[in-house]
Amino acid sequence: MSTLSSFHLLSVLASEMNMRKAAERLFVSQPALSQRLQTIESEWGTKLFIRSQKGLTLTPAGELVVKFVNEVLEKEEKVKEAITAMNSEVYGTLKIAVASIVGQNWLPKVLKRFVDRYPHAKVQLVTGWSSEILRSIYEDDVHIGIIRGTPDWKGVKIHLFEDHLYLVDKEITSPEQVLTTDRPFIQFKSDSNYFQEIQDWWHRQFQTMPKRTIVVDQIETCKQMAFNGIGYAILPAITLNGSEKDIFKIPLLDENGEPLKRDTWLLGYESAFKLKQVQAFVSLIQEYIEEETK
């Protein structure tokens, strides 16, 4: 495994681009790291890094070698996961990509239960918009993803829950009042399909644009601004835990008078669902949802 050890060293160096920081991550002294790098460069027969006062720079040859090294290390991780999946205990790393709104409001309780129950398993979590989550699954960067909306997905697709959409404000008590108020409509940046859902509802309901709008980058910012009386917002139920005071929550209805809702799905390739850490996580999610719906 000495080759893999060298590969790990090169990967850390390329990640940090700084000898001191790389040495700290590798738990070695800078002179020892420098000596080791010289040996590795000698084995490759070329210079891989150039040192300067600002740090390290990859040579063209170094870029090729580091790309190869990272591909090998990624394959090594998958082989290790496959081996640990053969054992009865839940080991390995669970790689999840989750829509930010789910990661902030729903997932923490599930993850707490997972890490308590499976102490040998590791969790690697990334959050983002649902479109970014789908890309992470397509590119095999994660085992599973949790997204919002209605995904076009050919692999394993498990429905987790649905939540309704509400017009939220400290003053407005019916949707029609948005036509007469001078208070701004607070919007948060989101996936295009969610934005389109809101736009469609708005135009069906009012056939006009809001008088004033404030656009923020995060849903939590939008929520806090609405709760503090700055304006009104449209928020999913997942962000509303019932503890908010003096807030009117008006359910949005579709053209048939049914509540407008947002679905949450768990997605992944079949191969990922054969891993024990994924199976354990999915089973725990289903257990949690059953308890919540009782």
> Across the strands, what pairs with 125?
96
CB contact burial 226-243 (16+ within 10 A = b; e otherwise): bbeebbbbbbbbbbbeee
The domains located in the chain, with CATH, are: 2-76 (1.10.10.10), 93-157+263-293 (3.40.190.10), 163-262 (3.40.190.290)
Which pLDDT tens digits describe the chain residue by residue (294 residues)? 468 899 999 999 999 999 999 999 999 999 999 999 999 999 999 999 999 888 899 999 999 999 999 999 989 888 887 777 666 678 788 999 999 889 988 999 999 999 999 988 889 999 988 888 988 998 889 999 999 988 888 899 999 999 899 999 999 998 889 888 889 999 988 876 788 888 888 888 888 888 899 999 888 899 999 999 999 999 999 988 776 778 999 999 888 888 998 899 999 999 999 888 999 999 999 999 988 877
Amino acid sitting at position 200:
D
How far, in Å, CA of 221 to CA of 199, rounded? 20
Q: What are the phi and psi torsion angles at 270 (to 5°)?
A: -55, -40
The answer to whether the pTM exceeds 0.85 is: no
- Do 245 and 226 contact (CB within 8 A), yes or no? no
Which of 98, 106, 153 is CA-nearest to residue 128? 98
Residues 6+ apart with CB under 8 A from 180: none
Q: Write the CA distances from 84 to 75, 78, 90, 117, 284, integer angstroms.
A: 14, 10, 8, 17, 19
